[in-house]
A and B are shown apart, each in its own frame.
Chain A
């Protein structure tokens, strides 16, 4: 079956209308838009929630067209047993072995919407294909069980405690096929659940090329000092406290006056002596963010839980090499494939590699150019669209 003229439903806990709400949601929205542009009828089934911590229903329920996509929002259910959910969640994070029944209680009290499930049960026949994700929420988990024979999972899988739950193995085996963002993610699903390579396809997300102007950025924000950059949410899970501590130690040990420029949202946890050297610009528009990346000596992404790394690829497009954590398999793989970044296991690696980048501008330039060429070839929308359409054709 060719993808053109198909009616495709995307099912996800959130849909970003304005500012970016998260990598997985941005990815799904972009894939949905590309399929719509290709001639598919695309419906995005999601919730009325915007905040990924409170899951409060802040947007009105109902259907409206946003660009070429028809977005239908359903209210998030009240949790039946919030206490049990947080108790089990704490045990999951600590890698405590749980019974199947406990895992069931956890997913039943995750983000769910009975109204959305009813819609899928009653109107699901209208869709030729259902694409759902990311894997660790109630909505994709229950949503995928309603029409598993035509559901493709877009898991955004990380090597984390949630991935080791037995119910996740069930989810991956239940669906018709899996769409991965990168090769290491497919290898992880194979390792954790024994998912055959034939059942999945690597697609990823496309990025539009952009021009940058680092000088304009420096002028606009009055930044003259040399800096490295981090973009994204600032939280423990993303490794930002590790980054600020490493940079603080780096500054003290090497005497190099390097600032850390941060874009994105969240509180930056940093040692007191590093505070004066953090340039927190908060949420920037895309143009400013790309210019900020272009002006940086390096882009540093210390997260070990990424399934794609949109900001890493943006930094490559901006011509800036990267430093990533070696335990973050996907980011490390992207750096290796692109020859545009180094990976560190611990502080000593970090110090040596950052010094290497600082002291060799020609190396930075070569790596930046290599990264840009890699992203243009592998993650152009044309290349991604081809992979997505082929995946739909081959998996369904």
Chain B
């Protein structure tokens, strides 16, 4: 991945504010295009949520990332052992344990995944509902302001 071709970098007399503004414009577009819909970003961003409260668009993006991260992988997986000496024995032991516990963990995690999915859907629905409501109220305010101006004149 590269930032080449996105920005015009005029190095004589660097204007950091202009470059940041251009980066932000480019990022807004990419957010809309889903370039950053990535569970890994959602995980990193958990530590930054406090600073994102005022970033309106970011909530939608974060929820899309969350949807990717929300389901715990409960499929079978390859069992390894790093300790060389007793590796075959330990692998066999772990496989036995996994087979014994599988029926229970599948049930547990599938239910957890269901809850996670429902929660994300609920938050997304709320976000969409209130975003629409706010948009509606903002347009009403604009109309009312225009009406007041009209009455004044």
Contact = CB atoms under 8 A, between A and B. Distances in A.
Interface of A: 241-242, 245-246, 248-249, 252-255, 304, 325-327, 335-336, 338-343, 345-349, 351-353, 355-356, 359-360, 362-363, 366-367, 370
Contacts of B20: 342-343, 349, 353
A346 B55 contact: yes
Is chain B's binding surface mostly helix, strand, loop or mixed? helix
Which of the four size classes fits the interface of chain B? Answer: 35 or more
Contacts of B41: 249, 253, 347-348
A228 to B, nearest CB: 16
A336 B20 CA distance: 10
Contacts of B107: none
B103 interface: no
B44 interface: yes
Contacts of B47: 241-242, 245
Contacts of B45: 346-347
B11 A345 contact: no
14 contacts: A245-B43, A246-B44, A248-B44, A249-B38, A252-B40, A255-B1, A339-B13, A339-B14, A342-B16, A342-B19, A346-B51, A347-B48, A348-B41, A359-B3
Interface string B97-125: 00000000000000000000000000000
A47 to B, nearest CB: 32
Given A245-B43, A356-B19, A348 B1 contact: no
Contacts of A341: 16
B65 to A, nearest CB: 9
Nearest to B26: A352
A347 B48 CA distance: 9
Is chain A's binding surface mostly helix, strand, loop or mixed? helix
A60 B51 CA distance: 43
Given A252-B40, A347-B44, 18 more contacts: A241-B47, A249-B44, A326-B51, A336-B16, A347-B36, A347-B41, A347-B45, A348-B27, A348-B61, A352-B6, A352-B23, A353-B23, A355-B2, A355-B3, A356-B19, A362-B11, A363-B9, A370-B14
Nearest to A243: B47
Contacts of A355: 1-3
A241 B58 CA distance: 21
B52 to A, nearest CB: 6
Contact of B27 (A325, A352, A359): A352
Interface string B21-52: 00110110011000110101101110110011
A193 B30 CA distance: 40
Contacts of A342: 16, 19-20, 23
B17 interface: yes
A340 B16 contact: yes
B51 A327 contact: yes
B14 A363 contact: yes
Contact of B36 (A255, A340, A348, A366): A348
Which has the most chain B C-beta neighbours within 10 Å: A304, A356, A367? Answer: A356
A366 B19 contact: no
A347 to B, nearest CB: 5
B4 A359 contact: yes
